[in-house]
Structure 1
Amino acid sequence: MALRLSFKAAALAALIGSAFFGASMVEAQDAVAPPPPAAAVATPGAPIPYTATVKRRPGRVRPAPTRTLSVGSPLTTTSAAIAAAAQTPVPVTAAPLPAADLEAYVDGVVRSSMARDHIAGVTIAVVQNGQVVLKKGYGVASVTGGRRVNPDKTLFRVGSISKTFTWIALMNEVEAGRIRLDTPVNIYLPEKLQLKDQGKKSPVRLRDLMTHTAGFEDRALGQLFERDPRRERSLELYLRQERPNRVREPGVLPAYSNYGVALAGEALANVTGKPFEQLVTEQVIFPAGLTHTTFREDRPWRADLPAPMSPALAADRSDGFRWTPLGFHTEAPEYIGHIAPAGSASSTAGDMARYMTLLLNGGTIDGRTVFSPKTSAAFRTPMYRPAEGAPGWNAGFMDIPLPGGHRGFGHAGATLWFHSNMVMVPDLGLGVFIAVNTDTGVDLPATLPAAIIERFYAPRPEVPVASRMSVAEAKAYGGQFLTTRRSYGGLEGFIDRMIGDASVRAAPDGRLTLTLDGKSSQWTATDKPDVFAPVSGPGLLVFQREEGRVVRFFSPMGFAAFERIGFPHGLGLLMTFAILTGLASIATLIGVVTRDRRESRQTPTQALASLLQITQAVLWLTALAGVGIFASGSRDIAKVFYGWPSGWLLTASACAFVAALLTLATLFMAPVVWRGGRRVDSWTSLRKLGFTCTTLVFLGFAVILSTWGFLEFWNT
């Protein structure tokens, strides 16, 4: 779950990321029966005519309605391409990776990154053609105990890779005929969780949740992670209390949504009548033989929550670390069980090697079928692509452009302290998983899978190919853009506007320079219109036009769209008015103590206007100081997430709100101030001009803050 921020971090892009513990552990936590014979495990494929009843969990007050679903071909709601792909496995013709060379290369890259980025521990697995080519751990899982990373035992949080388990369970229900992808999700949800239309014409379908096109805003601060296990909530309660707004029609633009995946997980639980953690264990973890994988968390037992992680697995859990000037700091665990389907899984490199083998092998492993060939084809066939050539979404899996024209599928993930990535490349028979346990380690998982492919299968030319585009042509793509993956109102919306922008500039050689999340990359035109390839690294940059004008581009990894914003909505204008407001406020206060006696003559109206403007100056300076103090502590990502809403930011917002109201009052008083009284009892023309200019500066700043949501101190 890739988190964006200095505060939303390198981690809200994928959110975050249950358990086969051996027979006794499963029996204690999930009451899972022993695995059936291989032939009986999940053969979802044969159409079964029946009347499907939407089940409710025990204890529901509302009686369960019965709905009749016509069952046809198991995947009639997916494209014909999926059915064709299911019958035609991708031929693997590439030479296998040389194990010794691969290990030497990975050792060099990993150790260099660990030293440069201050990473405490790394775990990695590479599989190809059903075999484990590399499985290795680096560094430590615990600083205090000196426990080293063991690829077969040490559990790392895998963040949003958790979502792929959820989609396997969902697609099994689709093939069984109990769920349909193109049916509104409300059909499968309890009444209290059903989505309101909020003025939208189309209902949200399960397909929209799988492709992150449901049209939700993205909210995370103060609720995505918990530090205190006593604050943990059930999945159902979380979904009811943390509803995001619907900000666009479903199926239009991508905007990564953890809430949407959690909603799909709750729909699964509601239809099957089983808690999500039990369901994913029975349908995926148990039959796949993943003995060190769990969606449960290491916390005290509570009757109103799913059972915690088993003691045996908890003993092998890696700590999460933050790098500080004094070295590695061990962080308290982050709890994500309240949104488990979107990100609570923990696993080892060994288990993830089995999992990738399962995904590359069409849903079977060790003779057991975990999901069908048609579902396997859906996971690697585009279900949604926003524009020709753009990265999109398969059935819940990311569609990943890779070096050499290869195309992969998989998912990345992140929590506050862990970052991970899983990429499968069917035409190479290859799967790469990597995870790190330190907040500074985001770059290594993001780049290593593509780097391996580039090194062994698609080396880049030493000298980049000249750009196909002139500088004048490239300038058509330049400008400021704002992500669709953000909150659309209130203080979190203000923060997201601050950190969610991207800039595109035309370089002198005709390439484009993209600055996103504080990092710049270069892109060169391809033979396809509006499609750009990276000079180095993975991904594609695809722009979209309306009436001939470039209006948006899509994230190189498909997480969101970035829409062009004009001058009034740019960060530069906000900062300019913030500086002007600060200077005007200081000048106002200086004037109070330096103005001579003659200049102090004034009418009663002017006296009141002066008092109001002095009050505004104090309030604006307080607001600016509050934002500054909040920003100075925003490098501590845990403090921002756990401490939201910040008291400093709330104070700043409330002060700005009152100052904005007073500014309106002084604006209405301006004509009377200018009319004044007798010449000897009125302000000078210079003071009147200064008053008016200050009022206009304050008013401009207030209008900008209002459009950015900053004045909504009640909306956190």
Structure 2
Amino acid sequence: MRRIVFPFLVVVIICLTCFGTAVLAADEDYAVTPSGIPIDRLAPFVDVFAAQHIGQRTVGATVAVLKDGELALINAYGHADLENEITAEVGNVFEWGSVSKLLVWTSVMQLVENGRLDLTSDIRSYLPEGFLTKLRFEQPINMLNLMHHNAGWEDHLMDLFYKSADDVGSLEETLRICEPVQVYEPGKVIAYSNFGVSLAGYIVECISGEPFYQYVNEHIFKVLGMDTTTIHPTQQDNAAVAAQREKIHGYRMVAQGSFVKSATERVYVGLYPAGGAMGTVGDAAKFMAALMPSVGQTSPLFADNATLEEMLSTSYSFGGGLFGIAHGFWISPKGVRTLAHGGSTDSFSSYFCFAPEQQLGLMVMTNQNGESAFCRDLANEIFGTYAVPSTSVQMPDTSELEGSYIEARRVHRGFSKIPGLMQMIDIKAIDQHTIDFAGRNYTQISPYIYYSEGNGAFLHFDVQDGKVVQISRQYGCLLPFPQNTMCLLIAGAIFSALSVIWLIAALVIAIIRLVRKIRHKEKTDSIVPAAKWGLFLNLAGIAVIANMAVQVIKAISYATYAELRMFFLFNYAYLICAAIGVALIAVVWKRSGGSKKQRVFAALSGLAAILIAIIIVGFEFYR
């Protein structure tokens, strides 16, 4: 009997040991983040992280972490009001910025599920007749193009933000004012577009028959119990949120450990579906939980989880599928596949990142423009970084990638195109497989695919016949810098310098002549007509340069397009006056007589007027 029982007990012990090990292993997978942080140690880990960065790189932040539908962490760090030393709280209202776009795509997929919208149909079938007036290509635009930011529009900066709630019009009105020119063929180039996302929100509005903010209130916020969040452009539908927003201030970092309050910390988003949401981090967690329903549960946002799964599936990919877009959600490879979206307004930054398969999500909200510690580094700490696979594939040489590139997302028409033209990015080969891209090293991990361990970013080069056609990255494309644009910038800089130098010199000459005449009662030669017209052009040149300077200042201070019209008219008037003045100088040149000095003065004045006119026309200061 003993001979039978003993082997039996050994077998049982072995089975129990193996079973117990399997259970512990399963529990270990459940209990840690992809980077290896135990879930029950996540709160102290983030506390230590915050202690390192609050006051150095970040003013204030609220953080929430979801695991399997439950809050594993929700906390606030730093200050809501730095000057008055008011600490941040989880109940503070933060602006979502572009994370608001996720509400648009969720709304769109709800209508897709209801059979009221098709992702591949021409969007004009959902819009009022003739709504889009600046399309340049026959290829129709569909909703997927809007989700992928490749409908082809240039960027548009005017009327995106307003300083006064009174300036905010309806979504339809703002879209008509802000419609940009289509500069790329649909489907060819990813150029991040606030207009395209807001147009998708307007399509939701047209189909549902209710304002977009009201649709979101009824079909997302109320469904999820998000009482402390609004996407109304002026927050009129939620007085409590509007009041809480006034209790927090936005900042900019001027140097590590040094922050200043944003000069325009309270603005209103005209194209609000693209960036107008604001609320608490606790509410944001409710939204994210609905995107990751527990096993066996159906998301309250959809009738069937199949719609949710479709929304979170890859719909556009770069670099052989390594990264891309999932119906408006950016696919961000880290230690695991994550979906993410960041947001930034004039005074706030936010970042939502989640891994549906691991049922893990992170929400970060900060009251600081361009914040990166919590909005980028913390996600890498929790989700881990991409593990580069080893490969024996022969890699192309990096030397063919060298050159200057420019963002596809930029303004192409009007004077507001100037900042985009000046943001040139140079790529230099460091060695056979490493490049310097905007001051950061990227290593080739697969043919024409580069990865930076420093920030976890990817680049994919589309090379044809040995030349780079475009560079794809996680949030848009880069294109080769056009040589004609480089010539325009160089000429503009030279012409501007010469014009300003001459105008200053002419002003000094005129003042010296006047002072001598008054003090010493010198008898001076009478001013000939050509010189008189030269003096007039110089005074007009000084005025128009001042006008253009104020025009630029107004534009970056969120002046509306209507407010800038008077500046455009002034520039038009100068062009007319310059044409008349230069023509008259040429006509009276030979017969006007006068001293050599006056003739030179008139000639240089006319030349300066021509240069200023070229600047106005070349850089489109008239629109």
Give the TM-score of the pair, scaled to structure 2.
Answer: 0.78
Q: 1:529-588 CA distances to partner (integer Å, 9 max, x unpaired)?
A: 2x221140122122333443224323x332344442226436444323322222233344
Q: Show the 5 A alignment for 1:541-552.
A: 541-552=459-470
Unaligned runs of 5+ in 2: 1-28, 517-523
1:277 partnered with 2:210: no
Q: Distance in 2 between matches of 1:491 and 1:330?
A: 23
Q: 2:204 aligns with which of 265, 268, 273?
A: 268
Q: Show the 5 A alignment for 1:374-453.
A: 374-385=306-317, 388=320, 391-402=323-334, 404=335, 406-439=336-369, 441=371, 444-453=374-383
Q: Distance in 2 between matches of 1:243 and 1:564?
A: 25
1:124 CA displacement: 0.9
Q: Aligned to 1:526, what secondary structure does the other structure show?
A: strand
Match in the other structure for 1:109: 49
CA contact (8 A) 1:321 1:329 kept: yes
Match in the other structure for 1:662: 578
- Is the alpha carbon distance of 1:610 and 1:563 closer, same or farther for their aligned partners in structure 2, counting shifts above 3 Å? farther
Match in the other structure for 1:504: 427
Match in the other structure for 2:620: 709
Q: Distance in 2 between matches of 1:548 and 1:687?
A: 57
Q: Aligned to 1:399, what secondary structure does the other structure show?
A: strand
Q: Distance in 2 between matches of 1:664 and 1:93?
A: 79
Match in the other structure for 2:76: 137
Q: 1:221-243 CA distances to partner (integer Å, 9 max, x unpaired)?
A: 3x222332222322233223332
Q: 2:283 aligns with which of 347, 351, 356?
A: 351
- Is the alpha carbon distance of 1:254 and 1:98 closer, same or farther for their aligned partners in structure 2, counting shifts above 3 Å? same
CA contact (8 A) 2:354 2:360 kept: yes
Q: Distance in 2 between matches of 1:494 and 1:330?
A: 22
Q: Show the 5 A alignment for 1:82-93.
A: none
1:618 CA displacement: 3.6
Q: 2:305 aligns with which of 373, 378, 382?
A: 373
1:290 partnered with 2:226: yes
- Is the alpha carbon distance of 1:226 and 1:369 closer, same or farther for their aligned partners in structure 2, counting shifts above 3 Å? closer
CA contact (8 A) 1:292 1:313 kept: no
Match in the other structure for 1:585: 503
Q: Distance in 1 between matches of 2:563 and 2:435?
A: 38
Letter in 2 for 1:370: F
Q: Show the 5 A alignment for 1:217-366.
A: 217-221=154-158, 223-296=159-232, 308-311=237-240, 314-315=243-244, 319-322=248-251, 328=261, 333-336=266-269, 338-361=270-293
Q: 1:640 aligns with which of 541, 545, 557?
A: 557
Q: Distance in 2 between matches of 1:543 and 1:419?
A: 29
Q: Distance in 1 between matches of 2:123 and 2:295?
A: 26
1:165 CA displacement: 1.7
1:527 partnered with 2:446: yes
> Whose RCO is larger (CA < 8 A, sep 6+)?
1
Q: Aligned to 1:150, what secondary structure does the other structure show?
A: coil
Q: 1:202 aligns with which of 136, 139, 161?
A: 139
1:625 CA displacement: 4.5
Q: Show the 5 A alignment for 1:661-680.
A: 662=578, 666=582, 676=590
CA contact (8 A) 1:487 1:496 kept: yes
Match in the other structure for 2:4: none
Letter in 2 for 1:484: A
Letter in 2 for 1:98: P
Q: 1:160 aligns with which of 77, 89, 98?
A: 98
1:346 CA displacement: 2.1
CA contact (8 A) 1:160 1:411 kept: yes
Q: Aligned to 1:117, what secondary structure does the other structure show?
A: coil
Q: Distance in 2 between matches of 1:441 and 1:398?
A: 19
Match in the other structure for 1:189: 127
1:100 CA displacement: 5.5
Q: Distance in 2 between matches of 1:497 and 1:100?
A: 49
1:207 CA displacement: 1.7
CA contact (8 A) 2:535 2:605 kept: no
1:170 partnered with 2:108: yes
Q: Distance in 2 between matches of 1:398 and 1:244?
A: 24
Match in the other structure for 1:48: none
- Is the alpha carbon distance of 1:327 and 1:185 closer, same or farther for their aligned partners in structure 2, counting shifts above 3 Å? closer
- Is the alpha carbon distance of 1:443 and 1:509 closer, same or farther for their aligned partners in structure 2, counting shifts above 3 Å? farther
1:364 CA displacement: 8.0
Q: 1:84-138 CA distances to partner (integer Å, 9 max, x unpaired)?
A: xxxxxxxx8894431355334433433433312351x211112234443322111
Letter in 2 for 1:550: V
Q: 2:39 aligns with which of 94, 99, 102?
A: 99
Q: Distance in 2 between matches of 1:656 and 1:587?
A: 25
- Is the alpha carbon distance of 1:608 and 1:548 closer, same or farther for their aligned partners in structure 2, counting shifts above 3 Å? farther
- Is the alpha carbon distance of 1:655 and 1:292 closer, same or farther for their aligned partners in structure 2, counting shifts above 3 Å? closer
Across the aligned residues of Structure 1 and Structure 2, the Cα RMSD in angstroms comes to 4.3
1:601 CA displacement: 9.2
- Is the alpha carbon distance of 1:363 and 1:347 closer, same or farther for their aligned partners in structure 2, counting shifts above 3 Å? farther
Q: Distance in 1 between matches of 2:426 and 2:350?
A: 27
Match in the other structure for 2:65: 126
CA contact (8 A) 1:363 1:370 kept: no
Q: Distance in 2 between matches of 1:316 and 1:664?
A: 54
Is the radius of gyration larger for structure 1 or structure 2?
2
1:669 CA displacement: 6.5
- Is the alpha carbon distance of 1:127 and 1:113 closer, same or farther for their aligned partners in structure 2, counting shifts above 3 Å? same
Letter in 2 for 1:270: C
Q: 1:601-646 CA distances to partner (integer Å, 9 max, x unpaired)?
A: 99x9xx5554444444444444445555677x68xx9x71157777
1:212 CA displacement: 1.4
Q: Aligned to 1:106, what secondary structure does the other structure show?
A: helix
1:479 partnered with 2:479: no
Give the TM-score of the pair, scaled to structure 1.
Answer: 0.68
Q: Distance in 1 between matches of 2:428 and 2:613?
A: 30
1:276 CA displacement: 2.2
Letter in 2 for 1:229: A
CA contact (8 A) 1:197 1:203 kept: no
- Is the alpha carbon distance of 1:620 and 1:317 closer, same or farther for their aligned partners in structure 2, counting shifts above 3 Å? closer
Q: Distance in 2 between matches of 1:421 and 1:479?
A: 32
Match in the other structure for 2:520: none
- Is the alpha carbon distance of 1:198 and 1:138 closer, same or farther for their aligned partners in structure 2, counting shifts above 3 Å? same
Deviates more, 1:411-420 or 1:615-624: 615-624
- Is the alpha carbon distance of 1:102 and 1:219 closer, same or farther for their aligned partners in structure 2, counting shifts above 3 Å? same
- Is the alpha carbon distance of 1:440 and 1:584 closer, same or farther for their aligned partners in structure 2, counting shifts above 3 Å? same
Select the structure that is richer in helix.
2
1:244 CA displacement: 2.4
Letter in 2 for 1:350: G
CA contact (8 A) 1:609 1:669 kept: yes
Q: Aligned to 2:141, what secondary structure does the other structure show?
A: coil
